[in-house]
Structure 1
């Protein structure tokens, strides 16, 4: 790392995905903007409106009119949080970028600590959750199960991972250059490597509004990202095949032994159970294979991750 006498400086881009966050946008613009201004950090705030159904885009335009450092991107429809993050990174002009939630559950004051670590030479600064804030026990259990499985599948420690992180320009360029459509930012930003350190934080209460994540949307988000980043579910096909084979072998040997001793099995209960077991395993395997084939189909169509319908702001005159 660099010594204190040779700390690097540069422009900071802050990427904030926003979906139905009309109340949070002005708060985030003021809180983060004032924080970075007082710290003397040259910066820009990039809000990405992910097809919101409320007045989020109007709030972004008003924030851009009040603050020259604020820029806005509006999608033509909802493309998802991952697409919004990558759109913001693609538009960022800073020497390093921070990604955080628009609702301020990621504490903005940690940005200063991340930026300081970047000045010392770190290229990726991961925000690590030490607590998940207020959420239902079911949500907590589901999240821990998902990240435990993902950590085992990817051999990356994702147990406390979050989207809150700082990336050096080199890391940003690598991520933006990746062509995969179903990109999982939280895992890819760890997978690319580079010199990485961590900053711990506690999830804060929402600054305004209600969470837009339902159990159904979280489940869909988890399944999509697991399939996008890992082939581990495909191994379930092999495991189920081996289990069914072993069960069939045991039952076959037992039936043969009964036949030799003149004690043939009565009825069809064993046969019916065996058929149900094999049939269920086959359906599960076909479902997993079908899901991955669908993802392959989406990739080979080579459609863009997102479509930008409009933009605003960027009147500070800065160019990279």
Structure 2
């Protein structure tokens, strides 16, 4: 296989987080007067086959999968109760949202590699299943979101602020958990960045690069560069993109799928994943200690919202 030198640009992408449960934003929560973190000791551990199943210290301050589903069900009950007042029915509730993160260390999951390779066009799993069939600009969409097709406040007599979705969020007290969600997201980001900058991860990344070089691939880093290269590669020699490709994305080539599988294998055999995961966990452990009172208060706020959700589900 011919060796290749890859770029270091990240292809443009838009991440849409539908706020049907607690809001999440990747804000950074580093206090300006916080002392620099000491070099943490780490415990290397066997990783699960599904990298998304790694348990992190900050997970204790997020909704569990079961709690997430309860919040989705309660949101649906409340939104539907509201839309029925306007004579409109919602689509069925559908499957639970899967917020499992399998890409925090770059492409790391073999199933993702075999299914999507480096494509960023995979369907979003962050929006509830019942919301997807509602056509933007439709009356139902305006009543659910509180906005018209142009993003202006919907002109519907008796519609609550933010539409039926806004009313549901307020009923579930989700506004009271949003700042805590931001804190957790910021601490998560801080731990990730701190671990990535650690010399031990950089050494493991060098081992990953040697593994990739042996297979004929040369990337500048393990996270962004492969996506940038293959994103550009899919467009080479194309004069136009078909309507189907505009909607669903350009299907990765066999060469891209092959490269993706090598990448995933090298991330494990080089120790890159194990090292970065271990350092991320160690850094999160320290941040949980530092931010203990705020995190515990947030966990109680989440639990209170879940109790409220159960009440609305029982009431129907």
Name the TM tier (shorter chain). under 0.3
Name the TM-score, length of structure 2 as normaliser: 0.23
Q: Between the two structures, name the one with larger relative contact order (CA 8 Å, sep ≥ 6).
A: 2
Bigger CA radius of gyration: 1
Q: Which TM-score applies when normalising by structure 1?
A: 0.23
